[in-house]
Structures are given as structure tokens and as C-alpha cells.
Amino acid sequence: MTELLDAFQLPFMLRALVTLLVLAVAAGTVGVMINLRRLEFLTDGLTHAVFPGLVLGFLAAGEPGLLPGALVIALLSAVLLTLLQRRGVGDQNLIAILLTAFFSIGVILVSTQQGYSGQLSEMLFGRLLSITDSQITVTSVLVTLAVLAVAVTWRQQVFRAFDDDGARASGLRSAWLDVVLNTAVVLVVVAASAAVGTLLVLAVLIVPGAAARLVAPRIGSAVIVATAFAIVTSVMGLVFAWQLSMDLGVQAAPGGVVALTMIAVYLLLLALYGLLLRSGRR
């Protein structure tokens, strides 16, 4: 235990922990709303749409251009997605098309360059232990904006999640709500890309909300449960990654270990939930 506490006194471990705690706040608000609105597949598409933005940003300004490039493309994707949804294009078809098109553009751009694959692979799979103070600041700002966007429209988003027809009939601007939520999602995706990578951010956005839905009796408590779940599993994952490195000499990607820890704990809760349901029927 003392060794683990000493580990978090190391600057790079402390910065990694702070980053994960910031992302846990997003998991408790944006993640719960994604689960309520059943937008998991849409979120997957938006995470892939960030990739060409990373490439363009890096080509234009090097490493400092990664986040701005990703943010611009992600916001454009969120608005485009909402506009196409309003025109009646099927959600799954639309997301599949956007995912393929945007990701293909990124792959083509990368393939025409030399020496960029290393930096971009870090953005895809994360570099949690290399997070800088300035990146923590950017992550905190983006997550704060995302949380505020969802919090301001929380009641309307919940109304639409449970009664879409009623929300439309009451005069709620559903297109505006979609833009707000999609924008919040891409802000978190961009914020988390440097920590756990764009390919693993789905775990942060989806798993805590899904876990909270299993055990939380109300939506308000689901936010608390999802945040707590994200905090506990993030710390567990970071500790596991540290132990793998120090005790076993295995240099496992911390972002991947954190994501896998979230999934493992969720599956455990799901199994326990199933057992409780079976015992209740007897």
C-alpha cells in the first residue's frame, strides 16, 4: 500500500490521476445522458470522426495543432450529423457512412506523410503517463464546457429521452437539443483523446453510464453512481498498469488497462444483477 501511495507522488502519475478524475465528471453527466438517449452507436461514430482532425492539426502546426484540429472537425461532424438526422437519414446508416468517410480521409492523409505515425498512434491509443499540465488545463476546460452544456439542457434532454413525441409536441427544439448533446460528446472525445486515445474514449463515455443504469434507482443518483464508478475503476486501472510495469515488467498502455478495468467491473456488476433478478423470481 505504501508503494502505491508513493507512486501517486510521482508527477507523471499524479497528472494521470488528475486527468482521469476530470474525465470521470464527464462520465457522470454526458455519459449518463448518452445512455438515456441510447446514443452509444452515434458516439462511436463521432469518436472516429475526430481522427482526420488530429491528422490535419498535426500537419498544420505539429503537436500543438492536434487538439484544435480535432476540435474543429469534431464540431463540424456534430453539426453535420444533426442536420442529416433532421432530414430523416437513418441513424445507423448515417453513422456508418460518416465513420468510414472521415476515418478514411485520416488514413489517406497519414499514408502520404512520413514520420507522423508515432505521434498520431499516441492520440489513437492514448499517452496517459505523458500528460502535461497544459494538457490537463485544456482537458478540464473542454470537460467543463461539455458538462455545462448538458446541465443547462438536462430537463429537456431527459424529457426527450423518455418521450420524444411528447417533447416535440410541447414545442421543444429537438434539433437544438441534438446539437448541444452531440457537441458535448465531441468535446469530451477531444478532451480524452490525449489521455486514453480516441479509440478507448468509448469506455469512459459509455461504460460508467451503463453501470449506473444497473444499480441506480433514479436519474439523479445515476449521475453520482456513474461518476463514482469512473473514479474507482480509473484509479484501479492506473494501479494495475503500475503494478504490471513495476512487478511484472509488462509495459501495458495505461489507457487500455483503465478501459479494460471499467469493462471488467461492469461485466461483474452485470453478472451480479442477473443473479439478483433470478433469485427474485424464485
What's the pTM? 0.86
Per-residue model confidence (pLDDT) at position 282:
47
Instruction: Determine contact, residues 132/15, Cβ cutoff 8 Å.
Output: yes
Residue 126 — left, alpha, or beta (φ > 0 → left; ψ -120 to 50 → alpha)? Answer: left
Residue owning grid cell 462520465: 27
Can you say whether the dihedral through the CA atoms of 127, 76, 64, 60 is positive or negative? positive
Residue 131 — left, alpha, or beta (φ > 0 → left; ψ -120 to 50 → alpha)? Answer: beta
Alpha helices, DSSP H, located in the chain: 2-7, 11-37, 40-61, 66-86, 91-111, 117-125, 133-152, 154-162, 164-169, 174-193, 201-215, 219-247, 254-281
Domain that holds residue 146: 2-281
Residue owning grid cell 465513420: 99
Residue owning grid cell 434539433: 175
Residue-wise pLDDT tens for the chain (282 aa)? 566 666 778 888 899 999 999 999 999 999 999 999 888 877 877 777 777 887 788 778 776 777 788 788 878 887 877 777 666 555 567 667 777 787 788 778 777 766 655 656 666 677 888 888 888 998 899 999 999 999 999 988 888 888 777 777 777 777 788 888 988 988 888 888 766 777 678 888 999 999 998 988 888 899 999 999 999 999 999 999 888 887 777 777 888 889 899 999 999 999 988 887 777 654
Closest CA to 267 of 222, 217, 229, 235: 229
CA distance 215 to 82: 32
Per-residue model confidence (pLDDT) at position 252:
79
CATH code assigned at 255: 1.10.3470.10
DSSP of 238-278: HHHHHHHHHHS-----HHHHHHHHHHHHHHHHHHHHHHHHH
Per-residue model confidence (pLDDT) at position 1:
57
Q: Looking at the 3D structure of the chain, how many domains does it have?
A: 1
Q: Would you state the cell numbers that stand for residue 212, as one nine-digit string?
A: 449506473
* Phi, psi dihedral angles at 262 (to 5 degrees): -60, -45
Per-residue model confidence (pLDDT) at position 91:
55
Instruction: Please give the angle made by the CA atoms of 13, 24 and 198, to the nearest 5 degrees.
Output: 80
Per-residue model confidence (pLDDT) at position 169:
75
